[in-house]
Amino acid sequence: AQKITQTQPGMFVQEKEAVTLDCTYDTSDQSYGLFWYKQPSSGEMIFLIYQGSYDEQNATEGRYSLNFQKARKSANLVISASQLGDSAMYFCAMREGGGRRALTFGSGTRLQVQP
Amino acid sequence: DTGVSQDPRHKITKRGQNVTFRCDPISEHNRLYWYRQTLGQGPEFLTYFQNEAQLEKSRLLSDRFSAERPKGSFSTLEIQRTEQGDSAMYLCASSLVSGTGEQFFGPGTRLTVL
């Protein structure tokens, strides 16, 4: 089974609107971490936001927020007030427990912000 | 404040040749990771170091691949007898031991095997 599933290969959003990028995950660990990264066309992976499995509050970082629904095993990224510079690939990733440090990434969602 | 750096940025080689990539992590980061990313996919974990110790290796890391971090600072990834299937972007990342452990990535080395 896929550990991280991103079901939206591509998304369009109008500038200044909000957009939600979906991510579901699969793990039997109680302790895990969820991450979102942005990869512009230049190729570099940029860390956006982190959510720990025990965090009771949804994580927020500026215009980014993570809608964490533990029972549904989903960790959707919400970008508010989209900007043209938000056009990029977005990857959801998970670090499972048990001392493992590796991140498992989904296949990504390509977001295009239209003026 | 310098981020993670990788060298070279691009490498073109012929099948059967050996190649070596270098990664310099953020200076205070103890952990260093290697990932491989093929077109249209997310990165796949290869291996990671804490200081000079290689603590985790993926099954993707075949016998032709070897990684080192001899002094706990920079790391090298060597691929011996390259195959066309090795063509990919090789990404290096580093992180602190403490905190949430978010990994900071370098710009990658794009390998093309002809």
B81-112: pLDDT as tens digits: 999 999 999 999 999 887 788 899 999 999 99
The C-alpha atoms of residue A93 and residue A33 are separated, in whole angstroms, by 8
Question: What per-residue confidence (pLDDT) applies to B49?
Answer: 94
Contacts of A33 in chain B (CB under 8 A): 100-101
Structure tokens at B85: 């299937």
Contact A100 B56 (CB under 8 A): yes
Question: What per-residue confidence (pLDDT) applies to A69?
Answer: 96
pLDDT in tens, B15-34: 999 999 999 999 989 999 99
Helix/strand/coil for B85: helix
The C-alpha atoms of residue A92 and residue A45 are separated, in whole angstroms, by 11
pLDDT tops 60 at residue B1: no
pLDDT tops 60 at residue A70: yes
Shortest CB distance from A43 goes to which of B100, B103, B108? B108
Contacts of B51 in chain A (CB under 8 A): none
| Residues written for chain A | 115
Q: How far is A50 from chain B (nearest CA, A)?
A: 8
User: Which of A45, A91, A94 should be substituted to probe chain B, the one whose Cβ sees the most B Cβ atoms within 10 Å?
Assistant: A45
pLDDT in tens, A72-88: 999 999 999 999 999 99
Query: Which residue in this structure is represented by tokens 């919400």?
Result: A78
Confidence band for A2, pLDDT divided at 50, 70 and 90: confident
Phi/psi region, residue B93 (left: phi>0; alpha: psi -120 to 50; beta: rest), is beta
Question: What per-residue confidence (pLDDT) applies to B60?
Answer: 83
pLDDT tops 90 at residue A97: no
Shortest CB distance from A50 goes to which of B50, B55, B102? B102
